């Protein structure tokens, strides 16, 4: 099939999932066209099956805010017509689902009935989409998509609570390319560059927004390092980084905490790791936790949103109530205290992650595309 994928090209979960999906579809023989304002960060190659179309926005002094949705919908129309696309798969409702609806209407006037699949990822519903400024448009675009999917049961329930949705939302979990993590494990893991042999390595990866509770990560690590020699790797950039840096200085642990910034080497970084911390206020799925598990890294997380669907309490790690620093630190110490316990959790984590392998999820998306696509004469 000829499939258009619309996503944010950034380090966030929705963009990562959309990019990995597109590359897997291309590997499976489909022709995939990415339509966005920059080449997605995880899109490491282009081929005759994998294309990128940049949305350019003209700067006009008249506009305080440049109309990206108009440029995006126009680019969708152009790409659908030129390459005869059969499905547009839009990730993240704002503004992609709305722009896809506009593109669909323009194409209908030209006798082209493009099908639109909208995948909801989380903050497009829980934080941004439910805001009164956007709610009506988000609800409209969800209801006018041909198929709607969500990345967890929790997100499906939340969407139905916040919006009047007249379509069945199909749950399709996020996924990982398990082979990529197996390859990283097989390669030499030079963890000695970051920690002494007797030290544990604890990791957190996010966009450093308030909802990720980076200061809680620091506080949990502070308690752990009192009991177990360890280092903390923080991967990502965002508005909470300065506060986190200041807290490490205040707690006198800055020499044990490495701020690594954004990285495309997530698999390699996770291969160093013994434990992953995710004390988020909310996670619709928790892709970072799943990536950690695929790299044989157990997870300490909150029990909010879709995290209990990913992190199995007492098996792949532990779940705690939001802000319960003491419980998360206690659970982390339990996992890290000896090699036998740690290796048991590591094995459990990777075995559970295999259930979310792209080899299992990809056929589900292919069936979704087929379900909304009518064969043309």
Domain extents for the chain? 2-175+357-372, 178-355
Same fold, 2-175+357-372 and 178-355: yes
pLDDT of residue 376: 41
What is the rounded distance in angstroms from the CA atom of residue 58 to the CA atom of residue 95?
18
Nearest to 371 by CA among 177, 168, 174, 175: 168
Residue 209 CB neighbours (<10 A): 17
pLDDT in tens, the chain (377 residues): 999 999 988 767 788 899 999 999 999 999 999 999 999 888 877 788 999 999 998 888 888 778 889 999 999 999 999 999 999 999 988 889 999 999 999 999 999 999 999 999 877 777 666 678 888 988 999 999 999 999 999 999 999 999 999 999 999 999 988 888 887 776 666 777 788 989 999 999 999 999 999 999 999 999 999 999 999 999 999 999 999 999 999 999 999 999 999 988 888 889 889 999 999 998 989 899 999 999 999 999 999 999 999 999 999 999 999 999 999 999 999 999 999 999 999 999 999 999 999 999 999 999 999 998 654 43
**What tens digit of pLDDT does each residue of 14-63 get?**
888 999 999 999 999 999 999 999 998 888 777 889 999 999 988 888 88
Which CATH superfamily, name and number, covers 178-355?
Glycogen Phosphorylase B; (3.40.50.2000)
**What tens digit of pLDDT does each residue of 144-188 get?**
999 999 999 999 999 999 999 999 999 999 998 888 888 777 666
The class that CATH gives domain 2-175+357-372 is alpha beta
What is the rounded distance in angstroms from the CA atom of residue 169 to the CA atom of residue 246?
43
Nearest to 361 by CA among 196, 185, 149, 161: 149
């Amino acid at each position: 099939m000829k499939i258009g994928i619309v996503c944010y090209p950034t380090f966030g979960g929705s963009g990562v999932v959309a990019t990995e999906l597109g590359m897997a579809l291309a590997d499976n023989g489909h022709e995939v066209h990415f339509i966005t304002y920059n080449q997605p960060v995880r899109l490491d190659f282009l081929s005759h099956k994998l294309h990128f179309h940049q949305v350019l926005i003209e700067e006009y002094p008249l506009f305080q805010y440049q109309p990206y949705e108009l440029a995006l919908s126009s680019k969708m129309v152009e790409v659908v017509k030129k390459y005869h696309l059969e499905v547009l798969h839009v990730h993240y409702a704002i503004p992609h689902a709305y722009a896809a609806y506009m593109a669909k209407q323009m194409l209908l006037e030209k006798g082209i009935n493009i099908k639109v699949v909208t995948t909801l990822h989380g903050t497009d519903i829980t934080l941004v989409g439910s805001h009164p400024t956007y709610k009506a448009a988000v609800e409209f675009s969800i209801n006018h998509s041909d198929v709607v999917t969500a990345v967890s049961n929790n997100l499906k329930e939340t969407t139905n609570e916040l919006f009047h949705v007249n379509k069945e939302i199909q749950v399709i979990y996020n996924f990982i390319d398990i082979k990529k993590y197996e390859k990283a494990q097989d390669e030499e893991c030079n963890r000695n560059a970051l920690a002494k042999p007797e030290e544990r390595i604890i990791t957190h990866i996010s966009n450093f927004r308030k909802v990720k509770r980076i200061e809680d990560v620091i506080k949990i690590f502070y308690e752990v390092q009192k009991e177990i020699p360890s280092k903390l790797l923080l991967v990502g950039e965002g508005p909470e980084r300065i506060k986190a840096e200041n807290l490490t200085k205040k707690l006198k642990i800055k020499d044990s905490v490495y701020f690594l910034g954004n990285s495309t080497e997530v698999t390699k970084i996770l291969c160093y790791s013994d434990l992953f911390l995710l004390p988020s206020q909310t996670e619709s799925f928790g892709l970072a936790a799943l990536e950690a598990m695929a790299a044989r890294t157990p997870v300490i997380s909150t029990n909010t949103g879709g995290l209990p669907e990913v992190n199995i309490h007492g098996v792949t790690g532990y779940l705690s109530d939001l802000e319960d620093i003491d419980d998360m630190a206690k659970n982390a110490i339990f996992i890290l205290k000896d090699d036998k316990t740690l290796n048991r959790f590591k094995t459990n984590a990777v075995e559970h992650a295999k259930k979310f392998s792209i080899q299992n999820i990809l056929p589900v998306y292919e069936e979704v595309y087929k379900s909304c696509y009518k064969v043309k004469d």
